[in-house]
DNA sequence: GACCGTTGCCAACACTTGTTGGCAAACACT
DNA sequence: AGTGTTTGCCAACAAGTGTTGGCAACGGTC
């Protein structure tokens, strides 16, 4: 539809586009999908609301662009099997603290069907693929990935969304040492023990 | 403010009040706080939107009434210490499947500050109190309760809100056997192992 | 310098939202 | 029967929403 990605097309409006996207991520992360209004986002980006529509078509389109996200999971096949859990928690915590996109997605997925769909896609595709890279029974891969997602998202939900005091006050390193064994068991263990 | 609870006052409008509350819980659970409109709730309850205002004052008031919730946690002091985790997961799962109030609260807490505050209150008060009933170091009680909340809410979030397929398809009993050891460790274990 | 696409703002539309006031019917009580 | 209260609906308001079209200023190109 739009012009193919010509490397030589540094449009003057790219700065505006980026400003909108940044403001959108902030607002979506802070307020969720419905409370984050286009007018507020435009005000943050210091442009007119109509520009948002021109560049992103609709609010849904803006969110789709703002919620583009790559977990950037490390290659789990290269990680010592005993450290899989620790590696994963630490990775997610740093990924979260540095990029509010996932918090935006987390908040929006509670009320917006499209956001929930995107969330399912990210964890079904990226996380399941990563879990599949080391050799457990393929029949259990999806379930293991789901369990990992439940603890990871629960961690994010309580720490960044609801802000439960004990989860906010605990240092990332302490969280790692508590949660790592959980993920380790979900990834390589068996139910019951 | 209102009349004190006279046992002999079965008002005729109590049925309407209850219908509104039931519809409100359904809508809040399905759509979240902002998408659940008073008009839609009133339509479900087959009454006029203005009745909602008369009986509950405002949308916030309605939500406050609809989100009234008691975890009904069992007395953990009476549970064999080895079965604490299992007892808790099973309790939460049955509590969730049978009452959509917590799902409503879970969805709403993502975007509505008041709902998040209520969520903090429930888990800070009820869950922390339960965790405190058996004899671990009081200094670690809050953190243990927070970790339990993170796994429990993550379970609910992935299963009932985002509906990750592997978490939806897994039977409650399988979930119990996987998650129980996690809670057991959060409750009685030490970090690291 | 004339042309044309781009960038931006303003004003407005159509619609939905929570919320309010007034009025008719149903009820309770003497 | 006649009273005051309760229950319910209708119509409307003010505010805020996503979204649209038009129009001025700016940019580069011949």
Q: What is the pLDDT of residues B40-88, one digit of tens each?
A: 999 999 999 999 999 999 999 999 999 999 999 999 999 999 999 999 9
Residue with more model confidence, B40 or A134: B40
Q: Residue A182: list chain B partners with CB under 8 A.
A: 151, 182, 185
Q: Are A80 and A61 contained in the same domain? A: no
Query: How long is the CA B151 to C1' D25 vector, in angstroms?
Result: 57
Report the alpha-carbon distance of residue B11 to residue B39 in Å, rounded. 24
Please report whether residue A6 resides in a domain.
no
Looking at the predicted structure, is the pLDDT value of residue A3 above 50? no
Could you report the per-residue pLDDT of A163-186, keeping only the tens digit for each? 999 999 999 999 999 999 999 999
B57 & B89 share domain = no
Q: Within the 120-139 window of chain B, which residues sit less than 8 Å (CB to CB) from chain A?
A: 120, 123-124
Residues B105 and B25 in one domain: no
pLDDT at A1: 43
Pair (A46, A118) in one structural domain = no
Distance from CA of A30 to the nearest CA of B (A): 8
**How many CB pairs below 8 Å do chains A and B form together?**
159
Is the per-residue pLDDT at A6 higher than 60? no
Which of B66, B92, B109 is the last residue before a domain boundary? B66
User: Cβ B191–A178 below 8 Å, yes or no?
Assistant: yes
| Six token digits for residue B120 | 């903090």
CA of B89 vs chain A CAs: smallest distance (Å): 13
Residue A54 maps to a domain: yes
- What per-residue confidence (pLDDT) applies to B193? 75
Q: Is the same domain home to A97 and A121?
A: yes
Q: In sequence order, what are the residues at sequence separation of 6 or more whose Cβ sits closer than 8 angstroms to the Cβ of residue A185?
A: A85, A193, B181, B182
Mean pLDDT (whole number) for A34-55: 97
For B117-177, strand residue ranges (E) read none
Q: For the domain that residue B56 is a member of, what is the CATH number?
A: 1.10.10.60
**Spatial separation of the C-alpha atoms in residues B143 and B187, rounded to whole Å:** 9
On average, the pLDDT of chain A sits at 92
User: Which residues of chain B (3-22) touch nucleic strand C at CB < 7 A?
Assistant: 12
Shared domain check, A168 and A87: yes
Both A148 and A175 in one domain: the answer is yes
> Whole domain around residue A115: which residue ranges?
76-188
């Amino acid at each position: 539809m739009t012009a193919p990605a010509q490397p030589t097309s540094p449009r003057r409006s790219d700065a505006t586009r980026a400003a909108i996207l940044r403001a959108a991520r902030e607002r979506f992360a802070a307020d969720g999908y419905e409370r984050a209004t286009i007018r507020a986002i435009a005000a943050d980006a210091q442009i007119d609301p109509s520009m948002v529509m021109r560049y992103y078509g609709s609010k849904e389109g803006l969110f789709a662009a703002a919620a583009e996200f790559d977990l950037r999971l490390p290659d789990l096949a290269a990680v010592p099997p005993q450290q899989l859990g620790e590696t994963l928690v630490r990775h997610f915590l740093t990924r979260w603290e540095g990029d509010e996109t996932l918090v935006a997605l987390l908040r929006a997925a509670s009320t917006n069907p499209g956001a929930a769909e995107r969330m399912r896609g990210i964890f079904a595709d990226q996380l399941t693929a990563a879990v599949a890279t080391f050799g457990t029974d393929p029949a259990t891969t999806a379930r293991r990935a789901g369990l990992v997602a439940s603890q990871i998202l629960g961690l994010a939900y309580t720490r960044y969304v609801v802000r439960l005091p004990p989860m906010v006050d605990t240092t990332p390193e302490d969280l790692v040492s508590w949660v790592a064994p959980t993920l380790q068991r979900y990834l390589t263990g068996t139910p019951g023990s």
